[in-house]
Structure 1
Amino acid sequence: MDRRQEYEALLRALEETPPALEYTVQRSLARRRRRRWGMRLGIPAASLAGVFTAFVVLVNTSMPFAMACSGVPGLRELMAAVALSPSLKAAVEHDYAQYIGQSQTDNGITLRLEYLILDQGQISFFMEVEGPYESYLVKAKCLDGAGKELQGGLGISSVSFAGDTLANAVSLVADDSFQFPEEMRMECRVEGQRQTDGIAPEAAPGTGSADGEEPEATFVFTFPMDTQSLNDCRSLPVGDWVEVDGQRLRFGLDSYPTHGRLTVEEHPDNTARLAGMDFYLEDETGRRYEDNPAGSVGAIGNRRMCDTTYFSDPAHLTLYITRLEWLDQGRERVTVDLETGAVEGVLPERVSVYARRVGAKGGEVAFLAPNPPESSETNIVLYQVAQEVRWKDVSGAEQTAWSHSSRSGGEIWPGTPCPEGYFAEIWNLEDCPDTVEIDLHFSRRNMLEQPIAVTLQ
């Protein structure tokens, strides 16, 4: 019997509740799975029967307690893996971690899929890799149990992390239309790399790829999914319009067990589009819920990620906005000449452009922008200036460059230093004409000395 079978056998045994307590346990479990605003799981403890009932309910509804009782190892490692995310830590503590415990080895690399944490808005996988490399890149594709690709609002992140340490390797974020299957098939490709020089160690005889690329390993995991918690969400409806930095916005909040989503709607008469926002939430006790939590994407459409309020169930909640980025009408893009560096259009304040030709058909465009106030000598906080670079090739087809790199200090390119207090956002272009169009991410960026407060509840 493997670890998962032992765990499930224990839970089945514990589900056999004494008849006198059966209705109490069922009621408690139902309330646990169907939380709504203002509801609490109440278990009487004034008598021996109450204490026994509390024990049975705890085992059946608490993953940490049940795992400890069953002797399944690894809970300490899972808690360490979610330590930087208050939302995921709370989800584990409240029975939202599903143990998988599958392991496979290929090409000298062992990949262990240990846990997943699931709700309707997000699924996080926790993995561990062992092998001859110092770090690993995990690329995953998720399908249903029959091997059919999942459709509808699903994003998969490929993450590099150190081996032999349980880590949140892949997070999937779904929109409201996505349906999680009862059984999932996950296909993973793992690439290993030395951290020191970026070169993979020599593969064992017969394990290298035929085309000379670095050896890699492939894995396929199939596992059932506990979808009982998919309806667990607490929502604050979108409120009235409020004026924020000269524009009108309104806000709502959805709190899932693993994360929160702040909905931001913009008034159609606004003269600028909201391009970015830093914020936090605060309840009546002074507890803060930060934006952009660890292990999550920053935003999806008009919804911005934050720590969840699902388990704390605050009576009052206030939104505090600390930074705003706006894209004003008529200032959405600029045109840059790679030969002369001339710019047509209006750049954001304190932002300048360097441009140059590279060879006959290539080019580079560098945006110089000031380091934000929160930066320090050891921690440079960078932000995005351009959204994309576009041009038309000789056939008239539109081409787009999406990737870029950023650096602070040193040289932008040979002979062109990066000024002190600034960073450079560098776009590398291939097979492009002399003139390119650049869509800006923002036209003005406001760091607020005093946060703007908006009451949500």
Structure 2
Amino acid sequence: MVNTMRETDGYTEEQLQLEAMKEQIEQIAVPEEIDEAIRNGMRLGRQRRRRRRLTRAASYVACLLILASVASIRFSPTVAAYVGDIPGLRSLVELINYDKGLKLALENDYMQPVGLSEEHDGIQLKVDGIIADESRIIVFYTLNNMDGRKRIVNLGEVKLVNYEHASSDFGSSNFSEDWHSKQGTFEFNSHDEVGIPETLDLEIKVGEGVEASATAPVWKFSVPVDKTRFDGMKETYPIDQTVTVEGQRITFGKMTVYPSRVGLEVAYDPANTKKIFAFDDIRLEDELGETFGTITNGVSATTLSDGRQILYFQSNYFRKPNHLYLRASSIRALDKSKLEVKVDVDQKQLLSRPDDRMTLTGNAFTGEEDLNALVIRLKNEDPRDKNFHYFLFQTDYKDASGQVFQSNRMGSTTGEYQYYIKKANYKGPLTLTIADYPSRIKR
């Protein structure tokens, strides 16, 4: 995207570049399969102003197949070349390369250009565009270091003040001292499917360093939303199928397909003897073998209540498969009787634990301000967990009197986990509750 907003004969430089990009796109020889996808997108556009009914003869068929082998997600190099070689769009493709559904949305002209900018103290923040539907909003931004000074810049607080039904997520925001231009995304997730307003009142704090960003002035953007782009672009399918894995019953309910993601309701039988944490390598697969994995850079699930979740997948909205299968290699789960870990603070010992892979290291308590760090080692040689860092425990913990406390800080390194607790006169032992653990079940 361009970094300035100069006016040229009544048009901004950004508008002129977009027009040039449009001409380039029109001259590109588009492969047949992509051309067909674009025609499908155009047909969808003509239908956006009315609610679409599910009249297709072919229906989704969803099932859970626990497989020993793992299928990999195949990204289309043709799409990457088609979009990535166009000046100005290449950087957007790189930003969402982790999400196949968002790439399809961009290919189908689903992004809404915005082009708003503000500049304070030599830093320019531009809102380039948005991808939005009833479930999710992704805001694309560019941060420019206009005067070239060396400084560490941090994005502190990001929120939509007129859309309280959404939570935000914006990944890494700390920029090093020597930088010129950085691009990124803000993500807002809707929990209640409340209608998105006509204008998004976006507020962002940008400061030099973490402390400065907390007290920095608020940058405000009023981002217009063209709701006709996604009006009626949602498809809902009742799955209502129950599978049993090692005696554990799992029911898959309603599946909702949006342009930005797919949401699948899942419920775990209260009579299950194990606590189910997560599915390994769960993905959607169509009849042609094309797969759409879970959301890996953003919100991957929403907890509705105890034992009920919505799992989020990359969207196949623009693919329109005839059949859809839900596949996973295994499920992380642990006996409910092993969920509590008891810690003797004075003796620095684990009085109860899931298995002998978990130990408390000798330097268990490390002073830091008003906190102590419980340092726990977990021996785990499973190759599936090689690059995975577990949040081992829930934030709540309690002492022997039943008083509940909260840990607001956790950390991990390879095989070692830090759980910070307040310095206090606890009535021992402390009880921590397992939130995730590398033990698995298979069909």
User: Structure 2 length as normaliser, TM-score?
Assistant: 0.71
Alignment of 1:219-368 (within 5 A): 219-228=219-228, 229-252=230-253, 253-278=255-280, 279-293=282-296, 295-301=297-303, 302-348=309-355, 350-354=357-361, 356-358=364-366, 362-368=371-377
- Residue 137 (str. 1) matches residue 154 (str. 2): yes
SS of 1:92 mapped into structure 2:
helix
Distance (whole Å) between structure 2 residues aligned to residue 345 and residue 38 of structure 1:
56
Q: Do 2:365 and 2:373's aligned partners in 1 also have CA atoms closer than 8 Å?
A: yes
SS of 1:249 mapped into structure 2:
strand
Q: Offset at 1:124?
A: 0.6
Distance (whole Å) between structure 2 residues aligned to residue 134 and residue 286 of structure 1:
48
Q: Offset at 1:91?
A: 0.8
SS of 1:169 mapped into structure 2:
strand
Q: Do 1:332 and 1:442's aligned partners in 2 also have CA atoms closer than 8 Å?
A: no
Distance (whole Å) between structure 2 residues aligned to residue 169 and residue 425 of structure 1:
29
1:143-198: CA deviations, max 9, x gaps? 4xxxx5432353444542656556343101111343311111111112345xxxxx
Distance 1:219 1:362, change over 3 A: closer
Counterpart amino acid of 2:288?
T
- Aligned twin of 2:409: 403
- Residue 114 (str. 1) matches residue 128 (str. 2): yes
Number of residue pairs the alignment of both structures matches: 369
Q: Do 1:100 and 1:116's aligned partners in 2 also have CA atoms closer than 8 Å?
A: yes
Q: Offset at 1:221?
A: 0.9
Q: Offset at 1:4?
A: 7.3
SS of 2:383 mapped into structure 1:
coil
Distance (whole Å) between structure 1 residues aligned to residue 272 and residue 349 of structure 2:
31
Q: Pick from 405, 425, 430: which aligns with 2:422?
A: 430
Structure 2: 5+ residue stretches without partners: 1-10, 21-41, 58-81, 304-308
Distance 1:8 1:283, change over 3 A: closer
1:196-241: CA deviations, max 9, x gaps? xxxx9xxxxxxx97xxx99956421112111220531223313221
Q: Do 2:342 and 2:351's aligned partners in 1 also have CA atoms closer than 8 Å?
A: yes
Q: Pick from 59, 65, 80: which aligns with 2:94?
A: 80
Structure 1: 5+ residue stretches without partners: 11-25, 41-64, 194-199, 201-207, 409-422, 453-457
Counterpart amino acid of 1:428?
Y
Q: Do 2:115 and 2:127's aligned partners in 1 also have CA atoms closer than 8 Å?
A: yes
Q: Offset at 1:259?
A: 1.3
Q: Which has the higher contact order (CA 8 A, sep 6+)?
A: 2
Distance (whole Å) between structure 2 residues aligned to residue 446 and residue 245 of structure 1:
10
Q: Which moved more, 1:109-118 or 1:430-439?
A: 430-439
Q: Do 1:159 and 1:169's aligned partners in 2 also have CA atoms closer than 8 Å?
A: no
Distance 1:236 1:121, change over 3 A: same
- Aligned twin of 1:440: 434
Distance (whole Å) between structure 1 residues aligned to residue 381 and residue 162 of structure 2:
42
Q: Do 1:161 and 1:169's aligned partners in 2 also have CA atoms closer than 8 Å?
A: no
Decide which structure has the larger Cα Rg and report it. Answer: 1
Distance (whole Å) between structure 2 residues aligned to residue 82 and residue 358 of structure 1:
40
Q: Offset at 1:288?
A: 1.2
Distance (whole Å) between structure 2 residues aligned to residue 270 and residue 160 of structure 1:
41
Q: Do 1:107 and 1:217's aligned partners in 2 also have CA atoms closer than 8 Å?
A: no
SS of 2:241 mapped into structure 1:
coil
Q: Which moved more, 1:175-184 or 1:162-171?
A: 162-171
SS of 1:238 mapped into structure 2:
strand
Q: Which moved more, 1:168-177 or 1:280-289?
A: 168-177
Q: Which moved more, 1:31-40 or 1:160-169?
A: 31-40
User: Structure 1 length as normaliser, TM-score?
Assistant: 0.69
Distance (whole Å) between structure 1 residues aligned to residue 246 and residue 268 of structure 2:
12
- Aligned twin of 1:46: none
